[in-house]
Amino acid sequence: MAISTTSIAHVRLTVTDIERSRQFYEGVFGWPVLVELPPGADAATREALAFLYGGVIYDLGGALIGLRPVGDGDFHEDRTGLDHLAFRLADRAALDAAGEHLDALGIAHGPVKDIGPAYILEFRDPDNIALELTAPK
């Protein structure tokens, strides 16, 4: 019998500099923080939130994205592990607006591409993790 899933619950990305990555992801996506270690947390709170490993978890309205500061900055999608992470947008107009938002933030990105059933816009985070925005036709 196969395991029956309904969606992705969460993804955690390892990053080299948590503050730089937070600025990037919060600036690009504006995701609300679900869980983070509060400044000046007591020992009990630090222990209870040890699963964060000094990172943060964002709530995307059903799925969670976490950032964990550990990596050595040597990400490459041609190695075993993550190839890229894609986020769905409503339509082509939202994708075009996202490109303008990335431009305003000074974030390099490729052009909107027509890949047949959808459009995509590719860019990278500060640790070179490949990200993609996609919109249906």
pLDDT digits (tens, 9 = 90+) for 7-24: 899 999 999 999 999 999
Q: Domains of the chain (ranges plus CATH)?
A: 1-71 (3.10.180.10), 83-137 (3.10.180.10)
Residue 77: pLDDT band with limits 50, 70, 90: confident
> Tokens 């990596």 label which residue?
71
34 by Cβ neighbours in 10 Å (0-12 / 13-18 / 19+) ranks as middle
Question: What pLDDT, in 10s, does the model give residues 22-41?
Answer: 999 999 999 999 999 998 99
pLDDT of residue 5: 86
State yes or no: pLDDT of 78 exceeds 90. Answer: no
pTM: 0.90
pLDDT of residue 60: 93
Q: How far apart are CA 36 and CA 51, in angstroms?
A: 10
Kindly give the pairing relationship between strand 118-124 and strand 130-136.
Answer: antiparallel
Question: What pLDDT, in 10s, does the model give residues 38-65?
Answer: 989 999 999 999 999 999 999 999 899 9
Question: What pLDDT, in 10s, does the model give residues 86-137?
Answer: 999 999 999 999 999 999 999 999 999 999 999 999 999 999 999 999 999 9
